[in-house]
Structure 1
Amino acid sequence: MFALISLSDLENDFINPYDLTQRLNRFVALEYATQVVLVAVLLLGGKWFLAGLQAAMLVYLLHSWHVKQHTVDATDVFRQLPVQKKRRLIMFGSFLLFFVIITYRFIESIIHGLLTEEGRAHAKKLFQDAAASVHGY
């Protein structure tokens, strides 16, 4: 999202190309490292579908590294602007989809946990304790 806003700022002439490249290129290594760690954690956790989605993004990032499109060049930024915006929008959409899937799975696991007899008893005790603590004020 930060990259999309920065590219839009450049397009509207709110920042200069050198500031943009300094802003965006600073996070390239962190972005790649985070993606590798995310895929590794998902694989170790046995979340094959989610790991596959993120591995596809990692392959895309590695391809952009291989063809030297992982950084923004200040002298060529206006020519790269549509491509960079499209690239960042695809990445943002991917992360948004990933967030929705993770949130859905989280809520699903909470509901399944509460559907068991043991889970309902635990939730009942938790809500009773919470209600009792409210009256203490």
Structure 2
Amino acid sequence: MLKLIVTTLSLLTATAAYAQTEMTVSSLATDSETNKAFHKMSKGHNLPDWVMKGGTSTPAMRVTVDNKAYQVVSACKPHDCAAEQIAILYSPDTKSMSAVFSKQSEEGYQQNLVWLNSRSDISIDGRTVLFAALSGSLQNHPDAFNFK
């Protein structure tokens, strides 16, 4: 019985540690390792509070763009994902980020995209990955968005 409790506690501790290290949009915005790059990327843009506080997130995905490894994270406005979304392309090697923020018109007829880039050289492939993260295509076809 004691062995079962110890094993269960070890499993819970490992699960909690994994959950704390899971990359999300809000963790990129607030983590001491990445917040400087996040604020540089979003400077001059008025992002809604849910971005920093944590929206409804998808798990991070790994992609290759221009032979470089990136993590892609996305999130949406809680309880209204169709209205507002954000996707971020993050390079763990260079700690740089690029993103796209999407806001749907109230009538639902127009999607406005705001590109947030900490570097001006984001390729069309990088923009394609970001838009695919917003649309769900990246999650549905992850191997189709690796650009070597």
TM over 0.5: same fold? Answer: no
Structure richer in helix, relative to its length: 1
Higher relative contact order (CA 8 A, sep 6+): 1
* Higher Cα radius of gyration: 1
TM-score w.r.t. length of structure 1: 0.27
TM-score w.r.t. length of structure 2: 0.26
